[in-house]
Structure formats: structure tokens, C-alpha cells
């Protein structure tokens, strides 16, 4: 008669659960690894705007680049962030990472989703959709933001 003794049964359960446990741990460690790379102070280093609709407003786009070059993004370990342009507050709230997205939820409850294109020790590159009303009509497109430490 083939009977599985309780000790053998427990060992079999462990052998089946172990790979699942390792998979779960690796999923969490990848996420926290990316969050660890993102945590810190980032200085705006470059910007590229690709218009999809609206008027040609070179001065507005150039002004946005100058503003980004003067900006700092602080992603704090406690999950909070602040954006500064020079020393002036340009928003704050909480940040999280989901898949390949950096999600900022500001203090007013507005959400901004940045797709992470590159994250390294000293470089961060994101892309996101933008839209703004201007006196000449709505301007919209995608903006790629580059940061360095």
C-alpha cells in the first residue's frame, strides 16, 4: 500500500510552495530596486516636445525647456515628492511606481503618469502626454523629460 506519511506530505507541499515564494520575492525586489534607483534628487537636463495638435508656439515651448532646465524633482524615500523651479515650489504630493510608470499624485488629487524610458544611477528619462490651453487654441503632444543627478 502506497501511503504518504505526514512528514513526506509536508515536504512535498514545501517543494511546491518554494518556487512560488521565490517568484513573489523577486517581483517585490524588482519593484523596490526601481524605486531605489528613482529615490533622490533629479535635475532637469533636457526636454523634447512633439506636438500632436494646436498652434505653433515656439516661445512657449522654448520657455518650457528653460523652466525644465531650472527644475529639480525630489523623489523621497517616504513616497513623497516635490518639484521645484529654481527655489520655487512647483508641486508636491506622493509618488509610486507601477509597471514602467512613475505616478505622481499631487496634493490636489491630480494624477500625472510618466512612462519610464530610462532609469540608471545618474539618468532618468520619461515621456508623458501634455495638453494646455493657449490664447491661440489648445496645444497638445508628448513631452520627453531628461534628468541627471
21-63: pLDDT as tens digits = 444 444 444 445 899 999 999 999 999 988 888 777 666 666 7
Nearest one of 122, 120, 138 to 130, comparing CA atoms: 138
Give pLDDT, residue 54: 75
CA atoms of 116 and 133, how far apart (whole Å): 26
State residue 85's pLDDT score.
93
- What are the pLDDT tens digits along the chain (149 aa)? 555 555 555 555 555 555 544 444 444 444 458 999 999 999 999 999 888 887 776 666 667 788 899 999 999 999 999 999 998 898 999 999 999 999 999 999 999 999 999 999 999 999 999 888 888 888 889 999 999 99
pLDDT value of position 129? 93
Taking the C-alpha atoms of residue 13 and residue 7, their distance in angstroms, rounded to an integer, is 10
Amino acid at each position: 500500500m502506497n501511503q504518504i506519511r505526514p512528514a513526506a506530505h509536508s515536504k512535498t507541499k514545501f517543494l511546491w510552495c518554494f518556487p512560488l515564494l521565490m517568484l513573489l520575492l523577486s517581483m517585490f525586489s524588482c519593484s523596490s530596486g526601481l524605486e531605489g534607483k528613482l529615490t533622490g534628487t533629479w535635475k532637469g537636463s533636457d526636454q523634447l516636445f512633439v506636438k500632436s495638435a494646436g498652434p505653433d508656439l515656439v516661445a512657449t515651448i522654448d520657455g518650457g525647456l528653460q523652466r525644465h532646465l531650472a527644475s529639480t524633482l525630489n523623489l523621497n524615500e517616504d513616497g513623497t515628492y516635490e518639484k521645484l523651479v529654481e527655489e520655487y515650489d512647483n508641486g508636491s504630493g506622493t509618488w509610486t511606481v507601477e509597471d514602467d510608470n512613475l505616478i505622481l499624485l499631487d496634493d490636489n488629487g491630480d494624477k500625472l503618469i510618466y512612462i519610464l524610458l530610462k532609469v540608471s544611477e545618474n539618468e532618468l528619462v520619461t515621456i508623458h502626454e501634455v495638453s494646455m490651453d493657449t490664447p491661440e487654441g489648445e496645444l497638445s503632444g508628448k513631452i520627453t523629460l531628461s534628468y541627471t543627478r
